[in-house]
Structure 1
Amino acid sequence: MAGKTKGVSESGMVADDEHDKEESLANDLVVTKYAQAADIVNGVLKEVIAAVKEDVEVGFLCDLGDRLILERTSKVFKKEKEVQKGIAMPTCISVDNCICHYSPLRSDPPVVLRKGQMVKIDLGAHIDGYVATAAHTVVVGASNTDKITQRKASVIMAAYNAMEATIRMLRPELYKNMEVTEMIDRIATFYKPIENMLSHQLSRNKIDGEKQIIQNPGEKQRSEMTKCSFETYEAYAIDILMSTGEGHVKPVDTRTTVYKRTDDIIYSLKIKASRTFFSNAVSRFGSMPFTLRAFEEEKNAKMGVVECERHGLLQPYQVLYEKDGEFVAQFKSTVLILPGGLLKITGLPLDSSLISCDEKITDSSVSPDVRIFPFFLY
């Protein structure tokens, strides 16, 4: 009996190992799926940026990004009917001191962009559960003859430089996640990383994986953060947010519209509208974040989500703010750690021709090998 039990256990372990490898970056098909999702994300991000203009409504930009992602993901892996594809992060457009996750409903009052406002665009796509996300910051009306200057320019440079340096620190077994956290603080210099924001490891159908990098943690968050290093065949979404203020999150009554299914909570919903909504959300989006704007009947979605959130079936992506008068910049890239090096598959280069800023990394404790120079793939 002992021998038989051992045989079953070993067989199960072999099956698990094969399954893990099948979903790992060691599998060329997995890399291809990440890369195709990334191509879509980069292309859509460029088009949304091009549409950021004075008098354009934020809701229009969110609809544009989501529509383009759905259109383009539908055109890949068409023969493989079992391959799920679509939005991995609904398009969020967060302006000035709004930090993240602003994706208004069609029934909400319109928010119209004004010249000089700082606009953060955050979106993502997946193919077969393999996620690529990106975020970029622009200023409405900026041009070669009307450049971004002063605080806006400096906080954009701080966020972009911190993201690029963070990516370089993902080299396998070289740095720990908390060393990256400390580096982000040093690069920020005169600006503050938004407190307790996380960059996540990515895995199949998991946008917020096990390993994390935290920026500007409080004492409680610092002590609770699991220490880790980075390994070959891992994927990460590196998400950096910097503020001209203190980096503190301010509660505001803006409606939450972006949610994600919680993996490990089971609850029997009592209200029929809630059951219908939850079933629809899971069948359409699985474990990926989604927006209530994606439902034709917004009123029913707004009613149905309440019980789901109250009992933990859905995780809310709250709309967060810095204090009034401050500016928040965000840059996010998806990075694959491969045997040949780091591959940055999403994220657009910063258009330095639009920025007038002399900010440089001056802290001598920041290693020269993570200091900044322009690049896209490495």
Structure 2
Amino acid sequence: MAEKGRPVSRSSISSDDEKSVMETPASDLVVTKYAMAADIVNAVLKELMSAIKDGVEVGEICDLGDRLMSERIAKVFKKEKDALKGIAMPTCISINNCVCHFSPLRSDPPVIIRDGQMVKIDLGAHIDGFIATTAHTIVVGASSVWLPSLACCFSDSENKIKGRRANVMLAAYNAMEAAIRMLRPGLYKNMEITDMIDKIANIYQVKPVENMLSHELRKNKIDGEKQIIQNPGEKQRSEMTKCSFEKFEVYAIDILMRKTRILDSRTTVYKKVDDLVYSLKVKASRYVEQFSFLFQPDPCSKSLSFKCFFFFFFCFRMFLSAAVNKYGLMPFTLRSFEDEKLAKMGVVECERHNLMRPYQVLYERDGEFVAQFKSTVLIMPNGLLKITGFPLDMNMLESDMKIEDQLITSLLNSSLKPKKAKKKPKTDKKDEADGAQKKDDVIEKQAHVETQNVDMKTQNMDKKSVPSNERDGVKAVRKN
């Protein structure tokens, strides 16, 4: 706070403004970094879509996605040594009734992908903290497959997606596309997007997954303050902060559609809580207080208690330090740690002390299906820039449900970058006078053309018919 009577430094204000510009798409360099992260994510998503086949293990696909992202990320922005870059969302492969965030540990029993299963692919990357994420849903053996050699998608038209699977996929994809188009500044609020998602879900007779959030993206922050909630309860709806959208904001629009209720499961994806200042020394003292019961008066048990205490604290400290140094504020999977046992013990203490935020793995009832589509969108002055995600192959889907609401169809058919409206012709007296003047100009031009034609005829006359001593007179007449 500035002292009374002392003017605030203009340089400090300008530096703050410059910093805010350099952290939003108002800067061309920031747009470039978003685009680079998006290119990496899209390229890896294509490869994963072609790699998902009958008999492949989920863990192998997760490892493949993370490895491909890391390899591509290492090749960009090499000169900026201070710029952090890496995985912003570890590859998650969720099958059928598994809703999201499934990234199994290497020690877990293998999960095998089979034909006919609905597979959701979720991943993200960042360049210098600027995040691009995406999610896509395919049906193994039925969805179009990306062929890298031909740089195109191949569709098996004989094995289309039908029934409930088609309905949840169409609902999720169309809801995402509608939500993206409602991000235009000054037109809609976040809760209006929530209502639109519900309307589209009702058309296909499905339900959005309760209380799932689409977040604003900021530098080094995957869960920004502005949020769009889907299918909220009464309490969540009342607590949700109403907001509008502005130029140079970035959003990850994440839509998940389901048929019935949700069941919970174990978590393997976490991120560090970003608004908590942490000190290992302070936490060490609190840790000692909480485990003071281990210090038994019995000399025989005292040594064992000390060993247990320092072992647990060592796991806690080593895990937190490794997670922060390697991933910063980005989500990560426990599978990425070499020592899974140490990671599992360490994350329990971190979560208990509210140092880590879990990304819960949720499940539907057996036999049900969940579809997910997610895209990263930049709000630019000339329109909306969708940088991640692929279009859904509508030729592969058959559904008895159809969107007939004209407002929704017009919204879905609208362009992300609307064309500038043409200026309407003026009808005032001044325009009438201008029109009359234009007519006069046209008449004069026509007369001038006729005169030129006459001159051309004169030029074509036989020069012999005109005496040489009179030719200068003819020229003079033409000039006049």
TM band (smaller chain): over 0.9
Structure having the larger proportion of residues in helix: 2
Of 272, 277, 283, 1:261 maps to 272
Taking the aligned partners of 2:345 and 2:160, their CA distance within structure 1 comes to 45
Asked if residue 88 in structure 1 is aligned to residue 88 in structure 2, the reply is: yes
Alignment of 1:90-239 (within 5 A): 90-142=90-142, 143-189=156-202, 190-239=205-254
Q: Equivalent residues in 2 for 1:288-303 (5 A)? A: 288-303=330-345
Structure 2 counterpart of 1:353: 395
Inter-partner Cα distance in structure 2 for 1:140 and 1:12: 56
Identity of aligned residues (%): 65
Structure 2: distance between partners of 1:76 and 1:274: 34
For residue 376 of structure 1, report the CA deviation from its aligned partner: 8.8
Contact 1:187–1:363 (CA<8 Å) still a contact in 2? no
- Matched residue count: 370
Q: Which residue is 2:318 aligned to?
A: 276
* Aligned counterpart, 1:369: 410
CA distance in 2, matches of 1:275, 1:372: 53
Is residue 383–residue 416 contact of structure 2 (8 Å, CA) maintained in 1?
Answer: no
**Structure 2 Cα separation of the partners of residues 298 and 147 of structure 1:** 41
**Which sections of structure 2, spanning at least 5 residues, go unmatched?**
143-155, 288-312, 419-480
In structure 2, C-alpha distance between the alignment counterparts of 1:122 and 1:277, rounded to whole Å? 25
Q: 2:4 corresponds to which residue?
A: 2
SS in 1 for 2:8: helix
- SS of the aligned residue for 2:66 comes to helix
Bigger relative contact order, structure 1 or 2, given CA contacts below 8 A and separation 6+?
1
- Residue 338 of structure 1 and its aligned partner are, at CA, apart by 0.2
- TM-score (normalised: structure 1): 0.94
Cα pair 2:384 2:416 within 8 Å, conserved:
no
Q: Among 373, 384, 392, which residue is 1:331 paired with?
A: 373
User: Is the Cα contact below 8 Å between 2:403 and 2:409 reproduced in 1?
Assistant: no
Provide, for residues 38-61 of structure 1, a one-character-per-residue CA deviation record: whole Å limited to 9, x for no partner: 000001001111111111100011
Which deviates the most, 334-343 or 294-303?
A: 294-303
Q: CA separation in 2, counterparts of 1:40 and 1:358?
A: 37
**TM-score with structure 2 length normalisation?**
0.75
Q: Larger Rg: 1 or 2?
A: 2
